[in-house]
Amino acid sequence: MSFFKKIFSSDKKETLDKGLEKSKTSFLGKLGKAVAGKSKVDDDVLDNLEEVLVSSDVGVNTTLKVIERIEQRVAQDKYLGTDELNGILREEIAALLSETNSGEETEYTIPDLPKQENGKKTPYVLMVVGVNGVGKTTTIGKLAYQFKKQGLKVVLGAADTFRAAAIDQLQVWADRVDVTMVRQDMGSDPASVAFDALESGVNQDADVIIIDTAGRLHNKINLMNELTKVKRVMQKVVGDAPHDVLLVLDGSTGQNAFEQAKQFTAATEVTSLAVTKLDGTAKGGVVIGISDQFQIPVKYIGVGEGIEDLQVFNKYEFVDSFFK
């Protein structure tokens, strides 16, 4: 059975291919050396493959799962040629990603939500978390652009009030995309900004409200208390907010992205992931490891600086580009 029968959208697929070029070239180069002089997948090849996957930032635990899957294939087929290894890797990694990602989405979508008790539309509330420098604000701006392009009304909330630069940067994106932004002065209570943003969004009949939060990895207790307060205050306006807590990770940091994911998932309930800056790095394998290890779906990946280069994550397209 092939996972790769889907006909991909040519423009976005070309961008994805280009964005993963460094990761693919690095990985396939290492894989070529791992099987050099070998015609059969044996213990030596599997040992070398394990080293290749770990050094490609797939992560130790996920690597062991992949190796175990391939060992099962070897046991069943008795003889597997090294020329088949690339195809087998594609299939097994796609299957592994299937456990946390439905993976066939290609569009930015939000669910239909029931109306509120007062009869007003329930906006989809997205809370975005992540440390400074990972591309959090840029991701919010690009998401706002994509939702607006679909004809949806978007409101942004600048609840990262600890840095004036964060508020100003989000304002630049709000102006660029031409959406409403709710802000207060630097040092204001983040929960107060979130409350105002939701109240404004509801009054404007908004479809989507995106809340930016402070990008500090301080100790887990403070982080947990802060994010819990923001959630609690938002729920005074929209009872089941937030509908999604999106953690943004910088793919170019490799194993450091794992550590950030560990910190944030311990501090708050993260429901989806965005992995950015994949175009400038050979560490694209981190997407595979993070998705598997944390059992949280990767929803978006950043494969370029352009406003269209934040893509909805599709596991089939990603694996196809990675192993092409």
Helices then strands, each counted (H, E), the chain: 12, 8
Binding-site residue numbers are: 130-137, 212-216, 276-279
Handedness of CA 22, 286, 129, 260 (dihedral sign): negative
222: which residues sit within 8 A by CB, 6+ positions away? none
Find the range with the poorest average confidence among 22-36, 75-89, 149-163. Answer: 75-89
* Band of pLDDT at residue 83, cut at 50, 70 and 90: confident
User: For the CA atoms of 172, 173, 174, 178, what is the dihedral angle to 10 degrees?
Assistant: 110
State pLDDT tens for residues 270-315: 999 999 999 988 899 999 999 899 999 999 999 988 898 999 999 8
pLDDT at residue number 12: 82
CATH dotted code for 124-314: 3.40.50.300
Residues in binding site for GTP: 130-137, 212-216, 276-279
Give the start-to-end residue ranges of the domains of the chain. Answer: 10-98, 124-314
For residues 83 and 213, the model is more confident at: 213
Element (H, E) at 57: none
Q: Give the model's pLDDT for residue 69.
A: 92
Q: Which tokens belong to 3? A: 């996972």
| Model confidence pLDDT, tens digit, residues 131-179 | 888 999 999 999 999 999 999 999 999 999 988 899 999 999 999 999 9
Taken in order 230, 194, 145, 168, the sign of the CA dihedral is negative
Token digits for 252?
A: 């170019």
Confidence of residue 2 (pLDDT cuts 50, 70, 90): very low
Percent of the chain clearing pLDDT 90 (strictly above):
56
SS3 52: helix
| pTM exceeds cut of 0.85 | yes
Question: Do the Cβ atoms of 197 and 159 come closer than 8 Å?
Answer: yes
d(CA 183, CA 161): 9
Q: Do domains 10-98 and 124-314 have the same CATH topology?
A: no
Residue 282 has a pLDDT of 87
CATH number for 10-98: choose from 1.20.120.140, 3.30.470.30, 3.40.50.300, 3.40.50.1010.
1.20.120.140
**Residue closest to 123 by CA, chosen among 136, 113, 133, 132:** 113
Chain mean pLDDT for the chain: 88
CB 241 within 8 A of CB 271: no
